[in-house]
């Protein structure tokens, strides 16, 4: 007689929008995880199908805009995707595919719409809530490098200023220009003029964040009008850093990578350290003095930061510091990366020190007579 053994095979197809399958891993119970060529991580079962766990961009990332009064940020890339992220929940609010690659973006001061500039000179206006297309405009046929809305405080009957001397003392509402008297100290000696990809001033006007071609995020004191000004360098990206932006409350700094297609979120924490007989209290940014000093703070043993523009991870004991303002980088499952805290002390502007842990980081800002800045990396968390 003949015995027939039948095996039942289940077939589950990954939708084309997620790309082709690159990796498969076993999950809990009957679940499994699938990684795709379009930076998706899917979780699912043969019975229930797939759910998106992680989504990221699939091509070089340049466009970045933070919401004027909400904890939201928008990114656009060469993959034609526009993504709106929640910086608190670290979730993707929505995504939309444009007709062409996006290169720059900006929210309207009302937060109702967002404009995205492209390589062809066209720019798209999307509803920030529904992602619906509001309008399309064309300005020439060259790449749009910057999109900016007016803050809306210009009175009627304004005039065009033609003399450069008339602009030298203007108090700008925002500052993102890489050239200017207030920021010329950020340029290193021997720079070819293209090494700095983006610059932004914090809304409290204390700090300048800078993105360069060497995978670094820099922090300077503002104004930075001294040649070869000291700074602190922070490592998190594996490719050139394309953009930086502070959130509406200066509570976080967002940085984007080019070829690594990553989004780093750095949290700003402000603390004050009193004398040995006093308690340490936490204060808000609104109550901090105008002049500040940046240091990195760590939950593990303290270590002293090396001199400016040098990197040294050798731990050294250091005493308590005065008033501090910290920034922590975080790596989140949705592609927004988080980094651990590191504590140390500096008495003058110095580069940051990395504690060598997995993706997470925090930068502390100390209130003193001259600002310093430092950074660290830390805890494991999925990245896109």
Average pLDDT, the chain: 73
Q: Using the predicted structure, report yes or no on whether residue 363 has a pLDDT greater than 90.
A: no
pLDDT at 366: 37
For the ranges 115-124, 157-166, 288-297, 314-323, the maximum mean pLDDT occurs at 115-124
47/13 Cα distance (integer angstroms): 12
Mean pLDDT of 322-343: 40
Q: What is the pLDDT of residues 214-260, one digit of tens each?
A: 999 999 989 998 888 998 888 999 999 999 999 999 989 999 999 99
This prediction has a pTM of 0.67
Q: Which helix (H) or strand (E) holds 66?
A: strand 61-66
pLDDT at 51: 85
Task: Please tell me what DSSP assigns to residue 258.
Answer: S
Measuring CA to CA, which residue among 292, 312, 308, 353 is closest to residue 188?
A: 308
What are the domain boundaries of the chain? 16-55, 61-149+174-258, 267-366
| Residue 186, helix vs strand vs coil | helix
Torsion of CA 186, 192, 196, 199, to 10 degrees: 50
Q: Using the predicted structure, report yes or no on whether residue 355 has a pLDDT greater than 70.
A: no
For residue 363 the two structure tokens come to 């930068």
pLDDT at 77: 94
pLDDT at 276: 45
Q: What is the pLDDT of residues 77-90, one digit of tens each?
A: 999 999 999 999 88
More confident: 265 or 5: 265
Mean pLDDT of 18-23: 86
Q: What is the pLDDT of residues 271-301, one digit of tens each?
A: 554 444 443 333 333 333 333 333 333 333 3
| DSSP states along 327-354 | EEEEE-TTSEEE-B-EE---SS------
Q: Does domain 61-149+174-258 have CATH number 3.60.20.30?
A: no
């Amino acid at each position: 007689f003949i015995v027939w053994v039948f095996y039942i095979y289940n077939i589950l197809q990954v939708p084309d929008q997620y790309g082709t399958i690159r990796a498969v891993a076993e999950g809990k119970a009957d679940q499994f995880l699938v990684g795709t060529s379009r930076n998706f991580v899917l979780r699912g079962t043969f019975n229930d199908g797939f759910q998106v766990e992680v989504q990221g961009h699939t091509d070089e990332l340049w466009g970045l805009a933070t919401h004027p009064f909400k904890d939201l940020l928008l990114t656009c890339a060469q993959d034609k995707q526009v993504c709106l992220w929640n910086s608190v929940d670290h979730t993707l609010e929505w995504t939309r595919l444009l007709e062409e690659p996006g290169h720059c973006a900006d929210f309207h001061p009302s937060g109702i719409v967002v404009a995205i500039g492209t390589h062809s000179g066209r720019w798209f206006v999307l509803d920030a809530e529904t992602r619906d297309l509001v309008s399309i405009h064309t300005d020439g046929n060259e790449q749009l490098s910057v999109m900016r809305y007016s803050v809306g405080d210009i009175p009627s009957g304004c005039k065009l200023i033609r003399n450069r001397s008339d602009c030298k003392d203007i108090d700008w509402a925002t500052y993102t220009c890489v050239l200017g008297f207030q920021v010329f100290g950020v340029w290193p000696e021997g720079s070819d003029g293209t090494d700095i990809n983006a610059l932004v001033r914090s809304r409290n006007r204390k700090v300048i964040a800078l993105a360069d071609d060497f995978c670094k995020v820099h922090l300077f004191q503002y104004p930075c009008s001294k040649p070869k000004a000291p700074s602190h360098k922070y490592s998190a990206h594996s490719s050139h850093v394309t953009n930086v932006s502070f959130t509406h409350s200066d509570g976080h700094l967002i940085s984007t990578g080019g070829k690594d297609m990553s989004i780093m979120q750095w949290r700003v924490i402000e603390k004050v350290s009193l004398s040995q007989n006093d308690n340490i209290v936490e204060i808000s940014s609104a109550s901090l003095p105008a002049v500040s000093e940046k240091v990195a703070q760590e939950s593990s043993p303290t270590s002293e930061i090396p001199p400016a523009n040098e990197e040294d991870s050798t731990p050294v004991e250091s005493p308590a510091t005065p008033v501090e303002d910290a920034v922590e980088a975080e790596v989140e499952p949705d592609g927004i990366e988080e980094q651990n805290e590191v504590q140390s002390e500096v008495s003058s502007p110095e580069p940051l020190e990395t504690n060598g842990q997995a993706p997470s980081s925090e930068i502390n800002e100390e209130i003193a007579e001259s600002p310093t800045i430092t950074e660290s990396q830390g805890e494991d968390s999925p990245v896109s």
